[in-house]
Structure 1
Amino acid sequence: MGWADAADCVLEPQGEGRVVAVADVHSFRLEDGREVRLAGIERAGTDGVSGRAALSAIAGGRDVTLHGEADMPDRYGRQAAFVFVTGSEHSVQSELLRRGEVLVSTDIADKNCAAALAAAEATARQGKLGIWGETTAIKNAESPGDILAAIGQFTLVEGRVLSVRQAGATTYLNFGRNWTQDFAATISRRVIPAFENAGLGPKSLENRRIRVRGVVSSRGGPRIELFRVGQIEVLGGK
């Protein structure tokens, strides 16, 4: 599937308006005062100047339509939506992903939309555009120090799962031998069935190279908690 399939992100119409101010790479204000947060994407790293400029170039001063499952604002008063500039068949999210300015989020319920955004991100990654021109765009699981530097940030980490261990209600995908210092991805017992149903049961991932995405935290070593199947990509054979 190519990134041109981004039109699959057309969900229920949730309004329209003109963009009058861009706050950052994934939020803007409409002429009527509504604040909109672009659904399905996350800021890459901490440098938001380039991303804000890209969003301004794509949507600034333009008429847009909003699509989504609901128009209820989030806790910050922003309406989360997939956004299309009038006359374009591609979502603003896909345009940003195709330029390598943002990362695909993990909370996209619509499978067609998730696949379209993943394809747009892959296009930028293969072309080494934007953030993908940097060697640090994907963290190496064997370098926990580099991952710890991204605490609180949405990050991609890649490496081989050396062991899978359960402790209480948590399953650990360990990417190193030192469990207290090396990187691990964690899965709560309550969401294990979803991973198993998707063919991603924790034990099946042992000794596999995978890429995980999520917000980095620290509990001894760096951690990313896996809530959804979309946070894991299997990269190759054993």
Structure 2
Amino acid sequence: MTAYEEALSRPATLELNSGRNTTSPGHVTQRLPFIVACLLVAGHSAFAMPCHFETQGEGRVTAIVDGRSVRLDDGREVRLAGIEPTATTKQALASLLVGRDVTLRSTDDTPDRYGRQGAFVFIGESDASVQATLLAQGEAIASAEIADKDCAAALMASEAQARRQKMGNWADPLAIKNAESPDDILAGIGRFMVVEGKVLSVRQAGATTYLNFGRNWTRGFAVTISRRALPAFESAGISLKALENKRILVRGWIEGNTGPRIDVRLLGQVELLGANEPTGVRP
């Protein structure tokens, strides 16, 4: 068991009833999210070489296809794993990668149904993936889709740093949507978003648990969690009912008709915010 896994398995790490913050002149140290908080316990050594999976090939980048896909000189199209693009990701990729020799690392080199090879991309002998670089610059959003916990935690830590420093995309106050403005969220249906808000109620209907952020359940923003996703939360010591009246960040694809929602399938999609952080803070 890694230090990260050990930290994640302890319910005390969540501190659901704690609102402690450390303050100093001109600066407020903000509480880190579920997955990133474990970094404080795990320490640097656990993440010395995150996302360094098996080498799945090398090549030179000749073109940027879109915000998370590049083309190599041998014709392969590579989809960058672990991130979702922002409006500036494609340009950032062009600056970083065009004409550069790269190494591809992943647990599997099987192409997806569109023929793209998913991988972490490393420039030359660099120990930092291109994904981590984009996240640290605020030029991408962590997708929370990576199963490897050490790699996922390292990506989330890179994003959290950029959020705290308001780098890149996070300099825009609208980069994180307000759960109290469901119409703004619904306008982004079909897009990947990060939403902040206070959970007003937790309800279960059949095999689905609902985290409701509005009193009007049909029009307000909500998070849905299916029964098959519950074991991940339970193994981390997280009681969904305990999230009532807590402020969280949630990330995912916006769905819905009358009211917007995000379907949470992975633990890393949910982050707990400190109780004393003022409403509207965008870490």
Q: What's the TM-score once normalised by structure 1's chain length?
A: 0.94
Q: Which residue of the partner structure matches residue 62 of structure 2?
A: 20
Look up the equivalent residue of 1:223 and give its one-letter code.
Answer: R
Which of 104, 114, 133 is the aligned partner of 2:152?
114
Give how far 1:124 is off.
Answer: 1.2
User: Structure 1 residues 37 and 3, CA, compared in 2 at 3 Å: closer, same or farther?
Assistant: farther
Deviation of the 1:56 alpha carbon = 1.1
Distance in 2 between the 1:3 and 1:41 partners? 22
Counterpart residue number, 2:206: 168
* Residues in 2 aligned to 1:215 and 1:124: alpha-carbon distance in whole angstroms: 21
The question of 1:61 aligning with 2:80 is answered: no
1:63 and 1:85 in contact (8 A); partners too: yes
Distance 1:76 1:3, change over 3 A: farther
Which residue in the other structure is 1:8 paired with? 50
Secondary structure of the 1:9 match is coil
Deviation at 1:121, TM superposition (A): 0.7
Percent of aligned pairs with the same residue? 60
* Cα displacement string for residues 117-173 of structure 1 (whole angstroms, at most 9, x for unaligned residues): 111111211121111010001001101011101100110011111001111211100
Which of 114, 122, 139 pairs up with 1:76? 114
Could you list the per-position Cα deviations for residues 43-91 of structure 1 after superposition, in whole angstroms to 9, with x for gaps in the alignment? 13xx3xx321110111111110000110000111100000100121210
Residue type of the alignment partner of 1:93: Q
Greater mean alpha carbon deviation, residues 25-34 or residues 189-198: 189-198
Aligned to 1:196: 234
The structure 1 residue matched to 2:244, chosen from 190, 206, 228, is: 206
CA contact (8 A) 1:43 1:103 kept: yes
Q: Which residue of 1 aligns with 2:124?
A: 86
Of residues 232, 250, 263, the one that matches 1:225 is 263
Cross-structure match for 1:127: 165
Greater share of residues in strand:
1
Give unpaired runs (5+ residues) of structure 1: none
TM-score for both structures, normalised by structure 2: 0.79
1:235 corresponds to 2:273 = yes
> Runs of at least 4 residues of structure 1 off by over 6 A?
none
Question: 1:42·1:154 contact (CA, 8 Å) conserved in 2?
Answer: yes
> Is 1:29 aligned to residue 71 of structure 2?
yes
Q: CA deviation at 1:206?
A: 1.1
Q: State the AA in 1 paired with 2:73.
A: E
Contact persistence 1:24–1:52 (CA under 8 A): yes
Cα distance change, pair 123–14 in 1 and its aligned pair in 2 (3 A): same
Shift of 1:25: 2.1
**Corresponding position of 1:51:** 89
Q: How many residues align?
A: 234
Alignment RMSD, CA only? 1.8
Structure 2: runs of 5 or more not aligned: 1-38, 277-283
